[in-house]
Structure 1
Amino acid sequence: MSDNNHGLALEALTDYLRAQGLAGGTPLQVSVLAGGQSNPTFRIQAGAGRDYVLRKKPAGALLASAHAIDREYRVMRALEGTEVPVPRMLGYCEDASLLGTPFYVMEFLPGRTLMDQALPGMSNAEREAIYREMNRVIAALHALDHQALGLGDYGKPGNYVGRQIARWTRQCRESAVPVNDAMQRLMDWLPAHLPPGDATTLVHGDYRLDNLIFDAKEPRVIGVLDWELSTLGDPLADLAYQCMGWRIPHSLWRGIGGVDLAALGIPQEREYVRWYAEATGRDASAHWDFYIAYNLFRMAAILYGIAQRAADGSAAAADAVETGRKAGPLAELGWQAAQRHQAR
């Protein structure tokens, strides 16, 4: 017997949670958590003190290596107790017969999710504290010993950016959704301008404000979420992904480009990068515009993928079509960064 509450088979889910010692006799309360174009995510309340998040693969045909919730579960479990705060992992189920696709369960973190990088409604001091905390956490992530955490085989060491460019280029070329001229130029330009050096750390791959849970009152991260794109890779590329926000216009999507940052107490991009350099000893200045161009290309490729899933009818979020339309403008910004790098 299946209950179609938000598409979840509640009877099967209840049986699973009881078998894990995570539920008693109280009926489950299920709600859809906002955000996320990729893996359907739900809040599950199973009685007093039993508040969870369930994250599952979407249904339908999926691109190879996409929606890697098994990797999300593995990396967050490995990070428990480190300087990088994550929710506690409670169970992983690869048996697709229960809920239609594999899923995992983790603790629900009561706190703040901040969507707008301009941080409206905060004081200047609060905004600076939030940005300093984000910087502290990403620096801490890149300082972790992935071998000691049991993640030595979590990705291939070396040539991370080159492999990522090849991967997302291949995905774009295999997709039926057409890409714009700027994206075509980036696919040709980026492999020919890879920076020297090849540091390898654990990288999040999607580190940004709205993938962090902050304490309800303090400017303190209590959980880093959405590790689907995490791997072993170049820490400067990971930092530049977050720093795309300074280049993307606020009117386009999630960015603070064109915003009067000084009036808000938000650091300039170069200051944020300097904080990271002071914490880690890694100087990104020589190839910074390359890393920005690469990340705008990568983000555009991800959004083209969302557009493809919207066309196929398998996207998780209702606004997938609109999100997919942002791919072209992001590729244009990426090409502008590539031209700045060439002009140095």
Structure 2
Amino acid sequence: MAGPIRQPIDLQSLERYIEQHVPEIKTPLDVKQFGYGQSNPTYLLTSRDNGNKYVMRKKPPGQLLSKTAHQVDREYRIIHALENTPVPVPRAFCLCEDDAVIGTAFYIMSFLNGRIFADPALPDVSAEHRREMWKSAVKTLATFHSVKPASVGLENFGRMNNFYNRQLKTFATISEAQAKAVDVDTKVPVGKIPHYDEMVAFFGRAETQPKDRSTFVHGDYKIDNMVFHPTEPHVIGILDWEMATIGHPLSDLTNLLMPFTTASSPLAASAGRANEAFVPGHTPGMPTKEECLAWYESETGWKIIPSEMAWADAFGTYRGSIIMQGIAARYARRQASSEKAGDYAAQMKPFGEMGWRFVQECMKKLEGEGKKARL
């Protein structure tokens, strides 16, 4: 999955830093860049001395659109803090915040020898393993949500309570900046997400929001951010921690289960996000969304209210449209690190339309429970 370097780094400067600060990593190094990583460029480092492999994550080059994104220091902190817990994470070797070394802040972690699946349907595995791998993904999330921030010295990693309102405020700032990004060739701005104002108005209504809870949250917990054992059906590592904080656990759960939520949605199909493999009964061994929720509830002891899950699903899709807009903005400025950034950028508008449809479906569920759901 690693290939040609698209965003060059000063290898000699990096090697000097490693020799001074991480002597257990033997230089000289061979460097390749991973094709994935929509936000932070990710590199494979291989020691020519002993063949050991490591992974480096760095901020993108150039002036960044948002100070709240690309925080590799937060990634390092939480990975390092979780190393001695039941949560499977790589080993974090070092964090360098000196831009003079390779141009931006970066950190280095261990390379996990396992399988990464771009397709959450987990193709080319047996039905039995597919079910067990999804069960492992759900239970690993429940284990992560059960770690108390104070128990690993990260009680100040984020603010307790009121997570979704804080997210709305943060996304407003980010989305405004992203919408103004102008394509370097066409000179056309990225623009606003469809139904953005209506969605924000709905999500801001305190009486319809899920009950407030506070746990660690990963921020982008999904199948392609996990490493599975090379042959066995379980998770051996969680990757891409840049959006981790203290927040509402439903945000991670709905993100993980989004393929089930969007499986039969025409709008999801138009956004390239409807995976028929998740239609019940279509794929051997594939669990249902209800089974996944039951596994999570069993592990955490928390009973999830259907209307709260529907609200979180709608918010997760709205959040997804913000992420797509961000990729579109970086693509417009030619700062995107992924080879597929242009494809993701094109999904911003249909993703926004899908978010609005989910909001409308959520309002029906809330009204069915006797809650006011007007905008």
Q: TM-score, normalised by structure 1?
A: 0.93
Residue 6 and residue 182 in structure 1: after superposition, are their counterparts in 2 closer, same or farther (change >3 A)?
Answer: closer
Contact 1:277 1:283 in 2 (8 A): yes
1:206 partnered with 2:220: yes
Match of 2:61 in 1: 59
Q: Deviations over 1:232-284 (max 9, x none)?
A: 00112221121222133585446535744424221111221121112112222
| Partner amino acid, structure 2, of 1:325 | A
Which whole-Å CA distance do the structure 1 matches of 2:175 and 2:92 have between them? 33
Output the CA distance in 2 between the equivalents of 1:152 and 1:294.
Answer: 25
For residues 96 and 104 of structure 1, the distance between their equivalents in structure 2, rounded to whole angstroms, comes to 12
Residue of structure 2 in register with 1:48 after alignment: 50
Which residue is equivalent to 1:69? 72
**After alignment, is 5-14 or 158-167 more displaced?**
5-14
Match of 1:297 in 2: 318
Deviation at 1:108, TM superposition (A): 0.7
Q: Do residues 165 (structure 1) and 147 (structure 2) align?
A: no
SS of the counterpart of 2:297?
helix
User: What's the counterpart of residue 184 of structure 2?
Assistant: none
In the alignment, which residue of structure 1 is the partner of 2:281? Answer: 262
| In 2, Cα distance between equivalents of 1:126 and 1:57 | 36
Q: Which moved more, 1:162-171 or 1:35-44?
A: 162-171
Distance (whole Å) between structure 1 residues aligned to residue 275 and residue 155 of structure 2? 36
Change (3 A) 1:319 1:308: same
Q: Aligned pair 1:220/2:240, yes or no?
A: no
Letter in 2 for 1:208: K
What is the aligned partner in structure 2 of residue 102 from structure 1?
105
1:22 aligned onto 2:24: yes
Aligned match for 1:92, one of 86, 91, 95? 95
Between the aligned partners of 1:123 and 1:289, the Cα distance in structure 2 is: 31
Query: Aligned partners of 2:144 and 2:262: how far apart in 1?
Result: 24
1:246 & 1:339 partners in 2: Cα distance? Answer: 18
1:278-323 CA distance string (max 9 Å, x none):
2112222231111001010011101101111111121112322221
Shift of 1:6: 5.2
2:205 — aligned with what?
A: 192
Code of the aligned partner of 1:28: L
For the pair 1:82 / 2:114, whether they are aligned, the reply is no
Question: Does the Cα contact within 8 Å between 1:248 and 1:256 map onto a contact in 2?
Answer: yes
Structure-2 change in CA distance of 1:189 and 1:260 (3 Å): closer
Equivalence map 1:2-13=2 (5 Å) = 7-13=8-14
Over 3 Å counting, the alpha-carbon distance change for 1:147 and 1:126 in structure 2 is same
What's 1:319 paired with? 340
Following the alignment from structure 2 to structure 1, what is the Cα–Cα distance between the partners of residues 292 and 13?
47
Aligned to 1:243: 257
Match of 2:371 in 1: none
Give the C-alpha shift of residue 196 in structure 1: 4.6
Report the residue type matching 1:318 in the other structure.
E
Q: Distance in 2 between matches of 1:41 and 1:73?
A: 14
State the shift of 1:42 in Å: 0.4
- State the Cα RMSD in Å: 1.9
The CA distance in 2 between the partners of 1:75 and 1:111, in whole Å, is 21
Equivalent of residue 341 in structure 1, options 362, 366, 372 = 362
- How many Å separate the matches in 2 of 1:148 and 1:205? 20
Distance in 1 separating the partners of 2:95 and 2:193: 39
Structure 2: runs of 5 or more not aligned: 181-189, 366-375
How do 1:109-128 residues align onto structure 2 when only pairs under 5 Å count?
Answer: 109-128=112-131
How many residues were matched structurally?
340
Alignment check: 8 A CA contact 1:117 1:209 kept: yes
The 3 A distance-change label for structure 1 pair 117 and 243 is same
Q: Which residue of 1 aligns with 2:192?
A: 179
| Residue 155 of structure 1, CA deviation | 0.2
| Structure 1 unmatched runs, 5+ | none
* Alpha carbons 1:5, 1:30 under 8 Å: kept: no
- Residue 187 of structure 1 aligns to which amino acid in structure 2? V
Q: Give the Cα separation in 1 of the matches to 2:77 and 2:148.
A: 16
SS in 2 for 1:232: strand
1:22 Cα deviation from its structure 2 partner: 3.2
CA contact (8 A) 2:215 2:246 kept: yes
Kept after mapping to 2: 8 A contact 1:31/1:44: yes
SS at match of 2:205: helix
Separation (CA, whole Å) in 1 of partners of 2:251 and 2:46:
38
**Which of 155, 164, 179 lines up with 2:158 in the alignment?**
155
Shift of 1:227: 0.5
Distance 1:22 1:186 in 2: 50
